[in-house]
Amino acid sequence: MASAPTVPTPVRSEEDLNPFRIAMRQFDKAAEKLGLDQGLREILRRPHRAFIFTLPVKMDNGSIQVFEAYRVQHNSSRGPCKGGIRYHPNVSLDEVKALASWMTWKCATVNIPFGGGKGGIICDPKGLSMNELERLTRRYAYELGTFVGPDKDIPAPDVYTDAQVMAWIMDTYSMTHGGTSAPGVVTGKPIFLGGSLGRNEATARGCFFTIRAAAQLRGIQLTSARAAIQGFGNAGSICAELLAGAGVKVVAVSDSHGGIFNAAGLNISELTEHKRKSGSVRGFPGTENISSAAVLEAECDILVPAALENQITLENAARVKATIVAEAANGPTTPGADEILHKKGITVIPDILANAGGVTVSYFEWVQDLQELFWDEDDVNRRLEKVMVRSFSDVYLMTQKYQVDMRVGAYILAIDRVATATRTRGIWP
Ligand code: NAD
């Protein structure tokens, strides 16, 4: 039977920064190279379902504030949906749809048995008290209700959500499902509530393993390399620490307040302490203030965007000086910028590979919760390294086979795996 025609991706004169349309363009490019049939393309490029919630919250001053929230389940052919929850003023449904689809491709790239999901609440978490944050989170968890669960959809932390937020979600889910404890409903929990050792560092550690592999391919010695990192949160700060530990000179970093630079390299543990005390990397002794955008253009060998989407664009891609760009963030490079970086001979380790260490150890956490048997940290890190090294090599083989860059190579690998699962399960009814 003939399938519906593919909805053409809109082409605009100026660069289109809509994350979901970007995600669809990335998908289309790889699906074309793979020769995927039209029907499967139609299924896989869209989310299976998307929920929109209105969350009323009693504020500390007695007023009521109403928040809009989302959960998108992109695909579950290979296993339960998996993906973080973001609290940010710029969250939108299209952003969550893009992030959910990237989760599907990410889980398939590293071959773990999950599909893709993502959630978000439009809010400014820095302006909320802990009590307000807890009420907002619990209301959201209540609304997620039966749509999530250890065998359906398993949330995790993302930008401005953490282990405490996961603990509230786990507790709300458990209380509304018969009062039992259900640690497998979320990952990224505190260790004493069924979290996994190594999960907090996993995204950065996985990213580090891919940087090490790319450096080897490009003939770069880590001990004489320089790095610049945009974003100094969970992914960025720990990646900085791991790179510095391997002998890399981290010369520039930034956070939402701006960037800092020191050509001689930054002492990352002192910088982390400075950020913990002052709330920003700015003002770190011995550094020059630069903008967050300037960090992306710093003279360096390794650039790690670890903040938000659409940071490397048509506007600044030509000025990127690094040899390796490792996408710790999701969606930091636009398709237009991707082409420029490729032409410049820059190796871009795509987000669906570079930051997949987080979801990989989330998978380990879920496995440990279901088994009620916990591994030591060395065990977790060893297993993570194996997955990341193997996945980097799987993606590299695709780039050779199809003569494409690493993003298209990773998508081809992932789409083929999800398409095979979907085709084999069949279309119901
Ligand atoms: P986080 O909240 O811990 O940190 C975000 C950091 O980005 C903060 O330091 C913030 O100040 C900074 N930031 C915000 N706007 C900025 C700007 N304009 N310029 C520079 N810095 C800015 O979040 P995180 O968990 O580290 O996530 C960062 C990125 O990594 C996101 O794209 C996220 O989706 C991705 N990611 C995270 C994980 C994870 O396990 N944490 C896993 C996969 C992908």
pLDDT tens-digit profile, the chain (429 residues): 333 333 344 444 489 999 999 999 999 999 999 999 999 999 999 999 999 999 999 999 999 999 999 999 999 999 999 999 999 999 999 999 999 999 999 999 999 999 999 999 999 999 999 999 999 999 999 999 999 999 999 999 999 999 999 999 999 999 999 988 899 999 999 999 999 999 999 999 999 999 999 999 999 999 999 999 999 999 999 999 999 999 999 999 999 999 999 999 999 999 999 999 999 999 999 999 999 999 999 999 999 999 999 999 999 999 999 999 999 999 999 999 999 999 999 999 999 999 999 999 999 999 999 999 999 999 999 999 999 999 999 999 999 999 999 999 999 999 999 999 999 999 999
238 and 323 together in one domain: yes
Tell me, yes or no, whether 225 lies in a domain: yes
User: How far does Cα 66 stand from its chain's mean position?
Assistant: 27
Residues 178 and 244 in one domain: no
| Nearest ligand 1 atom, CA 158 | 25
**CA atoms within a 13 Å half-sphere pointing along the CA-CB vector of 199:** 28
My answer on whether 61 and 146 are in the same domain is yes
On whether both 129 and 258 belong to a single domain, the answer is no
Atom of ligand 1 nearest to the CA of 355: 43
Please give the tally of structural domains in the chain: 2
Contact 123, 89 (CB under 8 A): yes
Ligand 1 binding pocket includes 187 (Cβ within 6 Å)? no
Instruction: Give the model's pLDDT for residue 180.
Output: 82
The parent domain of residue 52 ranges over: 48-185
Shared domain check, 257 and 217: yes
**pLDDT of res. 13:** 46
Asked which of 319, 337, 354 is the last residue of a domain, the reply is 354
Residue 378 falls inside a structural domain = no
Q: Does 220 reside within a domain?
A: yes
Residues 211, 165 within the same domain: no
- Ligand 1 centre and the CA of 255: distance in Å? 9
118 is catalytic: yes
Which among 226, 227, 287 has a CA at the least distance from the CA of 258? 287
Q: What is the pLDDT of residue 14?
A: 83
List Cβ neighbours of 266 (8 Å cut-off, separation of 6 or more). 240, 244, 250, 251, 253, 260, 284, 287
Ligand 1: which of 255, 361, 362 to mutate, judged by most atoms within 8 Å of the beta carbon?
A: 255
* Residue 131: CATH number of its domain: 3.40.50.10860
Q: Which residues make Cβ contacts (< 8 Å) with residue 133, sequence separation at least 6?
A: 125, 165
Q: Which of 339, 354, 369 is the last residue of a domain?
A: 354
Q: CA nearest 159: which of 260, 33, 309, 10?
A: 309
Assessment of whether the complete model's pTM goes beyond 0.85: yes
CB contact at 8 A, 237 and 208: no
Residue 6 covered by a domain: no
Assign residue 279 the CATH number of its domain. Answer: 3.40.50.720
Catalytic residue, chosen from 29, 82, 106, 118, is 118
Among candidate residues 411, 417, 418, 419, the one with its CA nearest the CA of residue 27: 411
158 CA from centroid of ligand 1 (Å): 7
Partnered with residue 324 across adjacent β-strands are 302, 347
| Residue 102 shares a structural domain with residue 214 | no
333 lines ligand 1 (CB under 6 A): no
Nearest ligand 1 atom to alpha carbon 330:
32
- The answer to whether residue 54 sits within a structural domain is yes
Give the distance (Å) from ligand 1 centre to CA of residue 83. 15
Q: Which of 120, 150, 185 is the last residue of a domain?
A: 185
Say how far residue 175 (Cα) sits from the centre of its chain.
29
Residue nearest to atom 29 of ligand 1 (CA): 329
Task: Based on the fold, state whether residues 340 and 215 are members of the same structural domain.
Answer: yes
Distance 236 CA to ligand 1 centre (A): 7
- Does the residue 23 lie in any domain? no
Residue 18 domain-assigned (yes or no): no
Predicted local confidence at residue 3, as pLDDT: 38
